[in-house]
Structures are given as C-alpha cells and as structure tokens.
Amino acid sequence: MTTLPPTGLDWSELVPHLDAFAGADLSWRDGKTYAYVYDAGREVEDVGTRAFARYLFVNALDPTAFPSALALENEVVGLAARHLGGGPGAVGTFTSGGTESILCAVKAARDFGRARGLPAGGGVPQIVLPTTAHPAFHKAAWYLGLEVVAVDVDPVTFRADPAAMAAACGPRTLLLVGSAPSYAHGVVDPIRELGALAQEKGLLLHVDACVGGFLLPYFRRLGAPVPDFDLSVPGVTSISMDFHKYGFAPKGASVVVYADPALRRAQYFACADWPGYALVNPAVGSSKSAGPLAATWAVLQHVGDAGFLDLARRCLEGTRRLVDGVAALDGLRVLGTPDLCMVALAGEGGVSPFHVVDEMKLRGWFLQAQPSFRGMPASIHLSLGPENAERVDELLVDLRASVEAARGLPTGQLAAVVGQALAGLAGPPGPEDLGRLLALAGVVGGQLPERMAPIHELLDALPRPLCAAFLADFMAGLFTPGQGAPAPAPREAAAVG
C-alpha cells in the first residue's frame, strides 16, 4: 500500500529516513567497492552534486525554452567529439547512459539503412557483434526489431575476431560492433580491422567506448599501449562514451557521437500528429532534467586536463600493481591483457572465483562475480577507480587470504544437482521449478543468503535463456510493493490509492 503522511514533513525529519533507506547499500566511498561507482574523491563529487542540483528542475526537452541546456549540450558534445577523434563535421547527443547511447546508435543505423534500402539483401537487419559486447546491443535489437549475430572472441585475448566476424556477415548485415574496451575483460577490440571490414562490406560500425572513451586517450599519453579505437579510425561511423563512468560525473551522463550528421539525423524522432506542443526527441526520453548535463560540464571544467591525466595515472598505476600482484598469487590469474583499469580474474587449481568474491565480501570488499560463457571462464570483475587504486596493496593481502579460504570450500555440487533437476522435468521449467532451484541455492522468501557462491553456481549451470528468464522473475519479485526493508514510516501514514 502506498502511503502519505497526513501532513507534510520537514526536511530535517526526512533526512534520517532517507539515510535509513541507504543503510544496507554498498559503502562505496571507502575505495573498497570495485564496480558500479566510479569515485574520484569528495571534491569532484561535491562539484557534480552542486551543479546537478542547480539544474535539476530545468527541462532539457525544449532547448528553445531552456537555451542553457542547449548551450551546455553543445559544449559537452563538442568536447566529446574532439576527445574521440571526430572531424569538424562530427555531431552527437547527450544521453542518460551507455544503454541509451547504444539504443540511439542502433536506431540511427536501422533508420539510416532503411532510408537507403539497406541492408542490401532486404529482410530483418542484423548486427554482427563479438560475444563480449554489452547486453545493451541485444536490448536495442530486441526493442528495435533487429537480429543479433554473436561471434566468438579469441579464446586467449578475449578480443573480437575480425575474420570470424567477416565470415558471420551476410546479405542482411547492417551494423558491426566493437568495444573499447569490453566490460567483462577490459580489452579493446581490433577496431582498425573492424573498420576495414566495415568499409570493405559497406557496413556501419559502432564503437562502444562507454567505459573507455574518456580515460583511454589519457592512458595513451601516459605511455600505455592503447590500440586505436575512435572516430579517427577509417570505417568507424559512431561511438558512445559515458561521462558517468571514467569521466567521474554523476549517473545519467553519456554521449553518442557520429562522424556523419546524416546518421545522427536518423536517430531523431519528431511527431506532428497530435494537437499538443511540437515534439522532437533526439534520444529516447522526452522530458529530462538538465542536472546530469550541468554536472558533467562542471566536473569536466573543474578537473581539467591536468586533473584527468592525474586521475588516469592513479588508475593505470593501481591496475599495474593489481595485475603484478595477482601474477605473484597462487590460485588466480588475469584474463587477457587489460587495456583499461578493468580486470577479470579467473580461478586456478580448483579455486572458485565465486567463493573468492564471498570471502572478499566478508573482509569488506565488493568485487563482481562474472559467469562462464562460451568458452570464457567464470571470473571476478574489478573496475578500478582512483580511490580504489589507493587500496590495491590492502586488496592484494585480502585476496591472498580469500583464495586460501576458498580452497577449502566445495564447488560444483549445486551445478550437478541443477543439471539432474532440469533433466528430470517433463517440460520447460515453470516458476515453481525455479523456486525449488532457488531454495537449493539458499534463497528463502526472496532474501539472498550471505554467501552468494551457490547462487552464482546455480546461474552458471542454467541454460542461458533460462538463466535470463530466471533473473527477470527474481527481479520482478523484488520490485513488488511491500518487498525489501523500508525505512520506518515517517509519523503516522495515510493510505493513498
């Protein structure tokens, strides 16, 4: 039941409740959270917060009513285009995040192609991408009625395999994708080769630089061997970059940039078929706060070029210490050669990465579990930011202890039980079967257990489509009014609706 207090509450009364809601959240400001948050310290956070609040209620829907939003976007997108090797004609759009930027790029490709009779073979257009591409492309294809052809990556480097991608192209192929870098392993795909392939076959090529676009040029300036990845590479037609990742702006900040304005034009939606205001939406949303835009502009201006070089140096040096430390540690290995400050660690000698993640959590660290997929082993993901970099030496000490603890813990048993349970079913598993599997993994009444390894093992053991359905069912269960642990109701509550 949704409730309102009979009379309104003062800000001072609300604060304790807001803080209580956040009681179980990750405490991300201590440098011990290696995913989800990209922390450059209190000062940067403060600038972003203030600028965000200043523009929070400005509606960037209409740039003629709020020219401030227009001017800010032109500044931020212009800076991004230059940063990403765009020529003088490059244009773009500020969006709410990587997923929206990718949706825009795919929509632009579809409608640009449609207007020109592409794909040449007719039919449902295809996106050919490496298996390591972000799920946002699958989501875009699903929303926009396109088809995904996922191509295995090199099993050692985890980079896209251009020859295999060339072989996967057919008469319906419209768009190629490469990542700079991929999230799971932090490696940049061979964008030059993909660009050449796109040109040879007359295809569009989107580079997903959502995580790497901002810092990779700084890594290069610091002497790291960063492969070419941006709009200066022949054949690249669009690129996405998130400011809310390694640009250290608050969430809700990304950009998609196009080499050719005609491609961006295909992204726009305008509707004159109603009696209301003139509706033109460059991206997915319509009414939108200018807060993220102002915060991005302010963070960029506050940190400045020398500041970003310094933040990048901290990330690069921290990553090198981490990679060297893991090399000297028995039981874990780095997958591939990360190009950014994102690292994946697989278990060796029977060490389960899932148990290591649990053991690290007991020691106060948040690392992310990654499943095995099409020949790629299960792993531990670490996205390392400047504040994380300060704690790498401590992290390595606890990582060593966690690996030793994980050695003594059982693995693989649940996978075997799940396999048997699935084999014994007469038809496709229903919600009650999923409930039984969850109970086997220790989930009771929607509450996750302290140790998540059995859950990750269970997810790993399920066929992929079943795993996706399972995750969606689980999440839908969480997003049910009355679920979760709400803060105590402020004063007496009155029922609404």
Ligand X SMILES: Cc1ncc(COP(=O)(O)O)c(C=O)c1O
Interface with ligand X (CB under 6 A), residue from 189, 208, 339, 359: 208
DSSP states of 140-198 as a string? Answer: HHHHHT-EEEEEPPPTTT----HHHHHHH--TTEEEEEEESS-TTT-----HHHHHHHH
Is 93 a binder of ligand X (CB under 6 A)? no
The residue whose Cβ lies closest to ligand X is 98
Interface with ligand X (CB under 6 A), residue from 48, 86, 98, 325: 98
What is the footprint of ligand X within residues 167-186 (CB under 6 A)?
179, 183
The span of 3-11, 83-91, 205-213, 266-274 binding ligand X (CB under 6 A) equals 205-213
Size of the site for ligand X (CB under 6 A): 12
Token pair in block for residue 336: 């591939």
What is the footprint of ligand X within residues 252-281 (CB under 6 A)?
254
SS3 assignment, position 33: strand
Q: Decide whether 33 or 411 has the Cβ nearer to ligand X.
A: 33
Measure CA of the first residue to CA of the last residue in the chain; give whole Å: 8
Cβ 132 to ligand X, closest distance in Å?
9
Q: Decide whether 76 or 136 has the Cβ nearer to ligand X.
A: 136
Token pair in block for residue 463: 């066929």
What is the footprint of ligand X within residues 233-252 (CB under 6 A)?
242
Q: Decide whether 103 or 455 has the Cβ nearer to ligand X.
A: 103
Is 40 a binder of ligand X (CB under 6 A)? no
Burial class of residue 404, CB neighbours in 10 A (0-12, 13-18, 19+): middle
Closest by CA to 186, choosing from 231, 151, 226, 220, is 226
The span of 190-198, 203-211, 278-286, 477-485 binding ligand X (CB under 6 A) equals 203-211
Strand partners, 176: 128, 205
Is 105 a binder of ligand X (CB under 6 A)? no
The span of 20-28, 94-102, 289-297, 415-423 binding ligand X (CB under 6 A) equals 94-102
Interface with ligand X (CB under 6 A), residue from 32, 110, 134, 355: 134
Closest by CA to 388, choosing from 63, 41, 16, is 41
Burial class of residue 394, CB neighbours in 10 A (0-12, 13-18, 19+): middle
- Which one-letter amino acid corresponds to residue 44? V
For ligand X, the binding residues (CB under 6 A) are 97-99, 134, 136, 179, 183, 208, 210-211, 242, 254
